[in-house]
Amino acid sequence: MSARKRTGIIKDPRYAGHCMEKGHPECPARLEVIYAMLDEPELQGSLTEITPRRAEKAELLLVHSPDHIRRLEATEGKESVYLDPDTRTSPLSHEAALLAAGGLCLAVEQVEKGLLDNGFALIRPPGHHAERDKSKGFCLYNNVAIAARYAQQNLGIDRILIVDWDLHHGNGIQHCFESNPAVLYFSIHRSFFYPGSGRLREVGKGRGKGYTVNIPLGPGFGDGDYLTLFEKILKPIAFEYKPDFILVSAGFDIHYRDPLGGMQVTPKGFGAMTRSILQIAEQCCKGKMVMALEGGYDLEGLQDSVREALKELAGLQFTDPAGIAATANRKRMNYVLWRVKRAYKRYWKNLETVSDSGMEEPVGLFDRMREGLAQLVAYLKN
């Protein structure tokens, strides 16, 4: 059993200054419930609070265009500016966005320098949908992409693994790094869902082919299913890639009660996913890993799930990922694993060594039609 860890958390009341509109799911209450949970007895004394800094313009320019930055700067002090149909600003939104990106960079720096073992940036607004020249999907700046580029250019980190378990595909992260083999982007997300990207065939471009790994899923997948993908796909690829640092786009909208979701992950599942990634970090990069909050809109579910992730990070509990994986719906996962392995084994030799037990090819026309129909029905319902 490993010793307790020095886990840092980015926390600041100024994130509440970003408020898009009454009733919007991406609201200040998301952090309020998380921050309240941090005072619970089981976590007290186990976490190091870090006050964020603002991201510098030079850091934003590592990912975003000058025009994009100017557009967001121009929103400061204005009552409301719509950036896309789902995304708007309030007078203090830009300040919060700078603190989100800068806070994540600070957490990465402290972990890389050995001041902390790992960290969780409890920040908002989220970031993984933000593109080089536009804000979208509740996101203003792309926090994780900025932190990855910052780590490489300012901290001398070579290879970075980004794991994105948010319900929605991180289009902005993919587009930022899809031609770059120095960043491996691994995303599990709902298929036929916002923003419409992240298909299995999107494997990267040019020198980056194979370094984008997309696993789109239909609705209804739960703890065992996700952990099966972590254990049988993510781990073999990550152990072959050998990252020097791991970033996690941690979206909690795959929680079983999330109003935007349709997945069935429980707080225990989030703890197990965190532990699975920690095992990769411990084997590949001395445990260096920082998580960044993305989605998650059921307040109680968000609070419970972040608690479980923090307990794993801090070494307060040690969930067995393989044990959770064993509870998967094997018949359904046979098909998913076969498709993913077929798409990526040409790029990752370790996938060839993954046991084919329980991964037989579903050659029947009925199997393929049933899978396609299930995804189409899910798409039409949403």
Q: Which residues are catalytic?
A: 129
Specify the DSSP class assigned to residue 267: H
The per-residue b/e assignment along 130-148, b for 16 or more CB within 10 angstroms, e otherwise, is bbeebbbbbbbbbbbbbbb
349, 354, 360, 366: CA torsion to nearest 10: -70
Distance CA 121, CA 263 (A): 24
Answer for the pair 300, 257: CB distance below 8 angstroms, yes or no. yes
Task: Report whether the peptide linkage leading into residue 195 is cis, meaning its omega lies within 30 degrees of zero.
Answer: yes
For residue 336 the two structure tokens come to 């998913």
Distance CA 12, CA 31 (A): 9
SS3 48: strand
Whats the size of the chain, residue-wise?
Answer: 382
